[in-house]
Amino acid sequence: MKHLNQVLVRWILAVAMCSALIACASSLTLGSYSSFGFDMGKDQQDAVVLNYRYGNDKYFTQAPEQIIKEGKGMYFQSMSNFQYRIDFLYVKWRSTTNGQVYEDKVDLHRSLPRDMNDQTVYFMIKGAQLYVYLIAPEKRLPGTPPIGPRMYASQKITTLYPDQSKP
C-alpha cells in the first residue's frame, strides 16, 4: 500500500509539473526565430542611440544599464533567436547634428506577420524621424526600388514605421 501511495504521489507531481509547464508556455506567445538590429554607422544616419527596448511587457531586450546611465549611447546592436511575439519598439536617441534628444515608441503588434521565421526588425534614424523595417529572407523582386538599409538592399523590405499608408 505504501508503494502504491508513493507511485500515486509521483504521478500527481508529474501531472502538476506538466500542467505548470504548459501554462507557462501558453502565456508566452511563442513565435518563430527572428532578429533585431540597428547600425548608426551606415546609410548616413545622424544619431546615437541612448536607449532602446524591444519586446513585450514580460520579455524584452534593452540597452545595457551602463549605457543608459552614462548617456554615452551606442551605434550598433544585432541580436537573434527571438522566440516570443514582439509588441513594441522604444528608441531614445540624440541627433549628432543638433544635439537634440528624441524618443519614439512603435506598436509592432499588428504590423508584424504571424510567422517571423528568419525575419529581421531593423531600425534607422534620420534627424527626428525613426524608421522601422521588416527584412524578409526572400529576395527583392526585380524592378522594385530598394528601401531602407543598403546592406539588405537585395532582400524584400517592408516599411513598418512610419506607416506609409497614412497621408
Splitting the chain (167 residues) into consecutive groups of 10 residues, what average pLDDT does each group show?
51 40 39 85 95 90 91 91 84 96 95 89 96 95 92 95 72
Q: In what order do the strands lie in the sheet with 129-139?
A: 76-84, 30-39, 119-126, 129-139, 155-161
Query: Cα separation of 67 and 50, whole Å?
Result: 7
H helices of 28-131, where?
65-70
pLDDT at 88: 95
CB of 119 closer than 8 Å to CB of 34: yes
- What is residue 76's predicted lDDT score, i.e. its pLDDT? 93
pLDDT score, position 105: 97
Query: How far apart (Å, rounded) are the C-alpha atoms in residues 11 and 137?
Result: 45
**pLDDT recorded at residue 133:** 97
Give the per-residue pLDDT at 25.
Answer: 38
b/e per residue 3-28 (b: at least 16 CB within 10 A): eeeeeeeeeeeeeeeeeeeeeeeeee
Give the per-residue pLDDT at 129. 97
